[in-house]
Amino acid sequence: MSAKYDPAATLSNATWVAVILSERDVAGQIPINYVTNPAVSVSAACFGTRIYDREAAVKCFSNLIAIGYRRLVVDLYWSVSRRAWSFCPVSIPVRSEAAASSETSTTKTRDSATIDDDSHDGTLYGLGSYKCTDNLDPGTLAEVLDGYFRDTNEQLTVYTTYLVLNLHVAASGSTPDEPASSISGGQLPSESERAGTILGNALSDFIYTPAQLASDRRNLNESWYQVEQSYMPITEYFTVHENEKGEQSTPDGWPSSKYIQLAKRDRLLIEYGSIDAQLVHYNLSTEDNSVFSPGLLTSDVTISATTNGTLTSGCLYEPGLTHVSQTKSSWAISNQLPVPDGLSTDETMDSLANVLSDITACGLSPMLNTTLFGQTADQQIEYYRNVSLSSSWAWALGEPHDANYAGGDGDPKYDRCAIMDLTLDGHWRSTNCTEQRRGACRIGHSPFSWVLSNRSDSFSNVSNTCPPGSSFAVPRTGLENTYLYRYLLSLPETKVDLGSADPALREVFVNFNSRDVTSCWVSGGYDSTCPYASDPQQLERQTVLVAAIAGIIILIIAALTFFVKCNANRRNSRRRKRVIAGWEYEGVPS
C-alpha cells in the first residue's frame, strides 16, 4: 500500500501562517544558500525509540513537513542480503527465515531476528534493541514528499525542501548491535540501486539538480535574468563575471527560492551528507545529475549555549562587515541544537526558544538532532512544532497580531505596518501605519549597511526621509536583521534610547506592510499589493475561514472537555496545557 502525505497537525493558526509566509516572501529573492530553514534529523525525530514502523514513520514524516521543517536529514542503511536500502540500522531477514527462527524459539533473543508483531503495515521484527518493519524504505519517504508537493502546489503554499542523505551499511541480523562490516565489489549497490537514483527517479518532477545549477550559472542572461524581476536573485550575494558579449555568469551563485519554486516549478534539492567508512567504495560520480555532492548544501558550524539558551559561540555576526562573502554564512547550519539537562519541560522549551532565536539571528539554520523528551513527532507533535516556530527570526512572539482580521489604515485596532522594536531584541511588531517613526534605510544595495532616516514620519511618507544614497528597506534574512539591530543600538540616545518613554526612540519602521490584504505582508512601499490572487481578498477570506474553523473546533473540544471533567474522578491525574515561548503545547502527566 502506498504511503500518503497525511499530517496529524498543521500550521493552521492565522498568526503562524502569517509569520511563516511573510518570512518566506521577504527572503524570496535572496539566494537559497543564505536563507535559514529549520532542519531535523529524521532518525531522532521519528525513530528515537528504535522502533521503525512504517505506519508511524509515514505519520512522522508528514507531521515534520507540515509544521515547517524544510531540511530533512535522513539516515539510510544498505542491506547486502536484501539488496535494498532501509531506515532500519539492521539488515532485516526475508520473512521465511524470520518465521522459521520464531517457530523454533519460544523466547525472544537479542541476537537473532524474531517476529515481534505481525499486525502492523508490514511485519515488525525484533532485531536486538531495534524493532523494524520490512517495508520502510526510501520509496516510503518519496511517496510522502510527492503527496506533499502535489497538495501544496499553489503560490501561497509552496516551499523549498532539502533532503540530506547519510549513508550506512546495515548491521548483520546475527549481531544487530555491533558495527557493520565494510563492503566492496558486488556487495555495493548497483547504479540502479543507489539511494540518489531511487529518490531522483521517484521525485524527478520536483528536483532542482546539480546539472540545472551548472547550466543556470553558465549564462545568467538566459536563466536567472530571464524571469520576471521579482524572481531574480539579489546579485550582491554572489560573484558575477561578464564576457565581451555581455553574457554574465557566476562561479558561486545560487538561485532564489522564487526562481526555483515559481519560475522553475521545482521543490526539492537532494544532497549526500556523511558516508560511512564501510561504504568507502560507494561511487557518487554517477549520480551528480540529480544529487549534490557532500558539503555543497551544508556547512556545519559548531555552536555552544548557556543553560538558559544564550548563544555563546558560533554566531556569524561580525561588526563592521559589509560584504556577504566575509560572513561565511553560505549554507551555514548549526551542528546541534543544545538541549539542556536537568530542567523541567517548561524550562527546557524556554531555553530552546531562546537559543533558536539566537541561532537564526546569527545567520544559521538550526538543526534539531534530539528526540524531544523521549517522544517522537508522530506521538507528540507539539514539542517539534514549538521548535520549528521558534526558528522564526523576524516577528516577536504573537506577532503580527490581529492577523486574522481586516481593517482600515486609520483604525488603531488594526495594525498593518511593521516596526523593529529594539526592546524586543530587534524583532518586529505590527503597528498602525499612521504612527510617527523613523525608518530603516539601506545604504546602496548592501545587505549589511544601514542608516536611520533623518526624521520621524508616518509609514506613507517615511521613505522620503532617508538620507541620500540610501532607501527605505526591510531586512530579508536573520543576519541582515541583526546588522540593522546592532547598528541602531550603536546610535546616540538622541536617536535611539531603549529606556525612553517615547516609542519613537525605541521603534523603527521597516519597509513591510499588509495594507492591501491582511496576512499578506509585502515590501516595496506604501502602495504595494498582494501578489497571490487576482482577487486579493481571497487570501483574507481563507485566513479568516481558517481562524473561524479553528475557533469552532476549540469550542467543541472545550465543551467536551468540560463535560468529561465534570464526570471524572477528582483523583485522576490531569493534563495541563501550558504556553511555552508563545506556543501552546500539551503538558505530560506527572
Calculate the CA 438 to chain-centre distance: 32
The string of DSSP codes covering 309-363 is: S-EEE-----TT--SGGGT--TTEEES-----SS--HHHHHHHHHHHHHHHHHTT
**Residue 231 DSSP one-character state:** G
Q: Are residues 38 and 133 in the same domain?
A: yes
Q: Are residues 438 and 343 in the same domain?
A: no
**Residue 589 DSSP one-character state:** P
Report the sign of the C-alpha dihedral through residues 421, 427, 432, 436, in that order: positive
Domain that holds residue 449: 417-531
Determine, yes or no, domain membership for 546.
no
Domain count, the chain: 2
Determine, yes or no, domain membership for 292.
yes
The string of DSSP codes covering 493-528 is: TTT--TT-S-GGGTEEEEEEE-SSSTT--B-S-TT-
End-to-end CA distance of the chain: 39
Each of the 590 residues of the chain gets a pLDDT tens digit; together they read 789 999 987 777 888 889 999 999 999 999 999 999 999 999 999 999 999 999 999 999 999 999 999 999 999 999 999 999 999 999 998 765 545 444 444 333 334 566 655 545 668 999 999 999 999 999 999 999 999 999 999 888 899 999 999 999 999 988 998 999 999 999 999 989 999 999 999 999 999 999 999 999 999 999 999 999 999 999 999 999 999 999 999 999 999 999 999 999 999 999 999 999 999 888 887 666 789 999 999 999 999 999 999 999 999 999 988 888 888 899 999 988 999 888 999 999 999 999 999 999 999 999 999 999 999 999 999 999 999 999 999 999 999 986 665 544 445 456 899 999 999 999 999 999 999 999 999 999 999 999 999 999 999 999 999 999 999 999 999 999 999 999 999 999 999 999 999 999 999 999 999 998 888 899 999 999 998 853 333 444 444 444 444 455 445 555 555 444 444 444 443 333 333 233 333 333 33
Determine, yes or no, domain membership for 481.
yes
From 500, 531, 562, give the residue that closes a domain. Answer: 531
Determine, yes or no, domain membership for 32.
yes
Measure the CA–CA gap between 260 and 210, rounded to whole angstroms: 13
Determine, yes or no, domain membership for 109.
no
By the 8 A CB rule, do 397 and 66 touch? no
The residue type of 242 is: E
Residue 258's φ and ψ, nearest 5 degrees, are -65, -35
From 503, 531, 559, give the residue that closes a domain. Answer: 531
Measure the CA–CA gap between 234 and 480, rounded to whole angstroms: 13
Report if pTM > 0.85: yes
Q: Are residues 80 and 128 in the same domain?
A: yes
**SS3 annotation, 259-310:** HHHHHCCCCEEEEEEEECHHHCCCCCHHHCCCCECCCCCCEEECCEECCCCC
Q: Are residues 437 and 353 in the same domain?
A: no
Domain of residue 29, CATH code: 3.20.20
Q: Are residues 371 and 461 in the same domain?
A: no
Would you tell me how many other CB atoms lie within 10 Å of the CB of residue 433?
22
Determine, yes or no, domain membership for 540.
no
Measure the CA–CA gap between 239 and 230, rounded to whole angstroms: 20
* Residue 446, C-beta contacts closer than 8 angstroms, at least 6 positions apart: 236, 322, 323
Determine, yes or no, domain membership for 406.
no
The residue type of 204 is: S
> 313, exposed or middle or buried, with CB in 10 Å at 0-12, 13-18, 19+?
exposed
The residue type of 194 is: R
Written as nine digits, the cell of 208 is 532542482
From 510, 531, 552, give the residue that closes a domain. Answer: 531
